[in-house]
A and B are shown apart, each in its own frame.
Chain A
């Protein structure tokens, strides 16, 4: 068994088996399931990191059956980076969820409405994790579609676990958007299959899709994925869903789930379509710029902490799309800058946004409310969560030392190299907008005059999970070389 075969199987089936285990609902079993699921995902990601670094991209034909009949798993540097960040963020979220839902071994907790929801968190989350890993490893469109559906269903279900009317409505809305998005995707897949008779990404890329059918397929799949990624102007579903979910749910939705469909978009445009058209990339970039502006402005107007963070996700996802036009703008080196820079921003956002949602969860856990005025003075009561939020905000805004700073440096460099001054303004200006809403929260939190006197103590584990992720984002800010080296493993890109 090659390391690729071993670790790709562990990455998908580890969390899946843990999810099945977690269905038992017994508190002890839930803990064991979360631990083994997280451990297997972490081990798989680290194992693949080693394998890809030493041997380059690899593949795994499940059961020995090749395409087109069998299922093929495929891993390169890009996929490994996604698996790694999912594993780190996911483990912290698992840890957090152990305390967040209270002690489920107590009957009163278990039988409360929230407790009934809590019992389903672990199985849904582990199932979602398995699907996410599946997306990163899939080598064909049909597999991607299946994983995408599982991801969407599990994610929508997690939103409703908060058992409030708003959360239920937001979850239903999310489910509908997600299903429609999948249909658009499926339509594209069908068109391509009719035209080329293959579903494997590699075979499709070799066929060099062109012509009207291929173009319609690309547009259709892009619209579907843009809906799921909440690209402006398809973002309206995201803030209520991400803000409505229970705190660990918000963190995993904002930090991880939207990255799944984004990953597919990158694979489609660059691995299959060889970059698509410049016009198309430019449109995606413009939508990204719109997202940065619109998401940030709305974030500045929020009075609810979690909604503010959710709108920030809309804005930060915009950065990932600003990367698109820069990926084919200039020489190979310039494009590679854009790619490394965009990916560093993606990783930084995953870590920082999860840290911020978990920290915000701690703050509203302490004061039992989620409005900005309610957290006034919380910095004096929960210093660790406050630091976690602050450090996360730092990475998000691209202030050093953080992965966000390195990402912005590279993205700016590629924009300047290719003389794209409009993008320079967007990238640099977006950072200031980000600081605007991060500081808004810090100012409330630092306000001394109404620091809460009585508040619910926050379990250490929850504070630890938040600060851990924030620190990883900071440390990544001086280890960007590792990320760049990993991303170079793989021939997905034309350069």
Chain B
């Protein structure tokens, strides 16, 4: 019998504070206090990982953690560490550590690093808050905070394109945020509670009595989550935002922003309305249809791009919809597939962005057509990139295969077999845009001017940029190879579904 090591209820708060405190402290540092800034960053990231590990151990052993602070009569800031929250928290805590390391290396020589790292930490703070939010009020609070905390990172370079991307980002997310807030308040008025609860808090009879009211309510919340989750036609901001520095792209695409949206969809479907009620309202069909369309549409858009980061951005739009697709299907296998893809997509996509940033930093190469000979020059980087790309296509034994397998089986169980052709088509399309990248990099000769090469001859780049990519690539492979192990994300996703905490 395993017992929880720590049963302290404030553990979720510590997880949030471990990045909040460094974030605030860094804000008051001077630009040249680099050592102190780096120390604060790394100590915070490590502390978060320790707290999360303790919580993981506790939850696996059957404990649960809840911390609440009353903010208004009847409304509390509630942080809960349960199995579902931990799926997301563990992902963001682990990836935050590697991204911080990467960012420290990447931002060397850039301006305004104090501001950068401060908001970087605040972003992760908001993300962990979203993951552990115990009710819709807390969720909205952190979700909106994430919006503004990300803005300075997107516009960091201060160039006209960055400012334009920032404007587009804000227009989408703040517009959706307004709908989300109205939806959340309306939800409280209509249902009488904002608590998240496994199986939902909405009464099926009430929905029958007022289908229109609940339909609009669902729609408001769905759009509110859908922008960050980048569903077609709400995805426009994401490809534009790729002008941000590479670590920010990693944050947007893997650790924080889009994941917050996808996680919001999980909360909306499972913790607020409940999958049965959502199904009864016909909303699951809508989600599955929107997600399927987004998967195909974004893959086709990716085909037409030459800019490496833009391809990856459209790939995110496409892959993210797998999560929504899975959790909206009325079948445990599909739900496992959707949940686990939250982690798998994060690992693979962050690898790809790390590599893309590395290639740009070391060689100045930004487009696919200029990638000839890159594999010979940067073998480690391209090996990591290859693992990520093959995983995206869904080849075994990389992580992406596991997700697709469960999604495919689940869609049969849920009685929507037409999802299978969508998954197959997506794999083919992924192959159609990832394989040419690999072919160019491995088999073509050097076909472009490599800037910055002379300065760092022989090296692939700063070790702080290379190793995070290698580590996340290894993890992408590892979680696929050892999916059957008790410690894999897959086992955790199965535990969530089996325990009925979804």
Interface residues of A (CB under 8 A from B): 340, 377, 379-380, 383-384, 387, 394, 398-401, 405-406, 408-410, 412-413, 416-417, 424, 428-429, 431-432, 435, 439, 443, 446-449, 477-481, 484
Question: For residue B155, which residue of chain A has the nearest CB?
Answer: A446
21 contacts between A and B (CB under 8 A): A340-B72, A379-B115, A380-B112, A383-B115, A384-B28, A387-B27, A400-B140, A400-B142, A401-B145, A409-B72, A409-B185, A412-B182, A412-B185, A413-B188, A432-B175, A435-B174, A443-B163, A446-B155, A448-B158, A448-B159, A480-B71
Q: Closest 9 A-B residue pairs measured CB to CB?
A: A448-B158, A400-B141, A480-B72, A412-B185, A416-B189, A400-B144, A413-B185, A428-B178, A428-B182
Question: For residue A393, which residue of chain B has the nearest CB?
Answer: B148
Q: Across the interface, do B141 and A405 meet the contact criterion of CB distance under 8 Å?
A: yes
Q: Across the interface, do B70 and A481 meet the contact criterion of CB distance under 8 Å?
A: yes
Question: Which B residues are CB-close (under 8 A) to A384?
Answer: 28
Question: Which B residues are CB-close (under 8 A) to A340?
Answer: 72
Q: Across the interface, do B189 and A408 meet the contact criterion of CB distance under 8 Å?
A: no
Contacts A383-B115, A424-B182, A484-B72 given; does A447 touch B158 at CB 8 Å: yes
Contacts A399-B145, A424-B182 given; does A481 touch B72 at CB 8 Å: yes
What CA separation (Å) do A479 and B189 show in the bound complex?
22
Question: Which B residues are CB-close (under 8 A) to A417?
Answer: 189
Nearest-Cβ distance from residue A451 to partner chain B, whole angstroms: 9
What CA separation (Å) do A428 and B186 show in the bound complex?
12
What CA separation (Å) do A417 and B191 show in the bound complex?
12
Among A377, A410, A412, A448, which residue has its beta carbon within 8 angstroms of that of B72?
A: A410
User: Quick one: which of B101-139 are within 8 Å of A by CB?
Assistant: 111-112, 114-115, 137
If A399-B144, A409-B72, A443-B155 are given as contacts, then 15 extra A-B residue pairs at C-beta distance below 8 Å, sorted by A number, are A377-B158, A383-B115, A406-B72, A416-B185, A424-B182, A428-B181, A429-B178, A431-B178, A443-B163, A443-B167, A446-B152, A446-B158, A447-B163, A477-B71, A479-B71
Nearest-Cβ distance from residue A77 to partner chain B, whole angstroms: 14
Q: Across the interface, do B158 and A399 meet the contact criterion of CB distance under 8 Å?
A: no
Among A377, A400, A481, which residue has its beta carbon within 8 angstroms of that of B73?
A: A481
What CA separation (Å) do A405 and B115 show in the bound complex?
24
Contacts A380-B112, A405-B141 given; does A446 touch B170 at CB 8 Å: no
Contacts A446-B155, A478-B69 given; does A439 touch B170 at CB 8 Å: yes
Please give the number of chain B residues whose Cβ is less than 8 angstroms from any Cβ of chain A in the complex.
40
Nearest-Cβ distance from residue A57 to partner chain B, whole angstroms: 20
Question: Which A residues are CB-close (under 8 A) to B157?
Answer: 448
Question: Which A residues are CB-close (under 8 A) to B166?
Answer: 443
Question: For residue A447, which residue of chain B has the nearest CB?
Answer: B158
What CA separation (Å) do A380 and B111 show in the bound complex?
9
Nearest-Cβ distance from residue B12 to partner chain A, whole angstroms: 15
Question: Which B residues are CB-close (under 8 A) to A401?
Answer: 141, 145
Q: Across the interface, do B163 and A446 meet the contact criterion of CB distance under 8 Å?
A: yes
**B77 CB-CB contact with A under 8 Å:** yes
User: Quick one: which of B167-194 are within 8 Å of A by CB?
Assistant: 167, 170, 174-175, 177-178, 181-182, 185-186, 188-189
Nearest-Cβ distance from residue A458 to partner chain B, whole angstroms: 15
Question: Which B residues are CB-close (under 8 A) to A480?
Answer: 71-72
What CA separation (Å) do A394 and B170 show in the bound complex?
13
What CA separation (Å) do A360 and B147 show in the bound complex?
24
Q: Mark B385-411, 1 if CB is under 8 A from A, else 0.
A: 000000000000000000000000000
Contacts A412-B181, A446-B163, A480-B71 given; does A435 touch B170 at CB 8 Å: yes
Nearest-Cβ distance from residue B336 to partner chain A, whole angstroms: 33
Q: Across the interface, do B71 and A478 meet the contact criterion of CB distance under 8 Å?
A: yes
Nearest-Cβ distance from residue B324 to partner chain A, whole angstroms: 25
Nearest-Cβ distance from residue B162 to partner chain A, whole angstroms: 9
Nearest-Cβ distance from residue B30 to partner chain A, whole angstroms: 10
Question: Which B residues are CB-close (under 8 A) to A408?
Answer: 181
What CA separation (Å) do A431 and B71 show in the bound complex?
21
Among B69, B77, B114, B186, which residue has its beta carbon within 8 angstroms of that of A383?
A: B114
Question: Which A residues are CB-close (under 8 A) to B178?
Answer: 428-429, 431-432
Question: Which B residues are CB-close (under 8 A) to A484?
Answer: 72-73
Question: Which A residues are CB-close (under 8 A) to B69?
Answer: 478
Question: For residue B187, which residue of chain A has the nearest CB?
Answer: A416
Most buried by A among B69, B148, B163: B148
Q: Across the interface, do B72 and A394 meet the contact criterion of CB distance under 8 Å?
A: no
Contacts A478-B71, A480-B72 given; does A409 touch B170 at CB 8 Å: no
Question: For residue B170, which residue of chain A has the nearest CB?
Answer: A439
Q: Across the interface, do B111 and A481 meet the contact criterion of CB distance under 8 Å?
A: no
Question: Which B residues are CB-close (under 8 A) to A387?
Answer: 27
Question: For residue B186, which residue of chain A has the nearest CB?
Answer: A416
Question: For residue B115, which residue of chain A has the nearest CB?
Answer: A383
Question: Which A residues are CB-close (under 8 A) to B177?
Answer: 399
What CA separation (Å) do A477 and B141 show in the bound complex?
10
Nearest-Cβ distance from residue B144 to partner chain A, whole angstroms: 5
Nearest-Cβ distance from residue B351 to partner chain A, whole angstroms: 31
What CA separation (Å) do A398 and B182 show in the bound complex?
12
Question: Which A residues are CB-close (under 8 A) to B152?
Answer: 446
User: Quick one: which of B227-284 are within 8 Å of A by CB?
Assistant: none
What CA separation (Å) do A285 and B157 show in the bound complex?
43
Question: Which A residues are CB-close (under 8 A) to B163?
Answer: 443, 446-447
What CA separation (Å) do A429 and B72 show in the bound complex?
23
Question: For residue A448, which residue of chain B has the nearest CB?
Answer: B158
What CA separation (Å) do A311 and B369 show in the bound complex?
52
Nearest-Cβ distance from residue A401 to partner chain B, whole angstroms: 6
Q: Across the interface, do B189 and A394 meet the contact criterion of CB distance under 8 Å?
A: no
Question: For residue B73, which residue of chain A has the nearest CB?
Answer: A484
What CA separation (Å) do A380 and B159 show in the bound complex?
14
Contacts A383-B114, A401-B141 given; does A394 touch B148 at CB 8 Å: yes
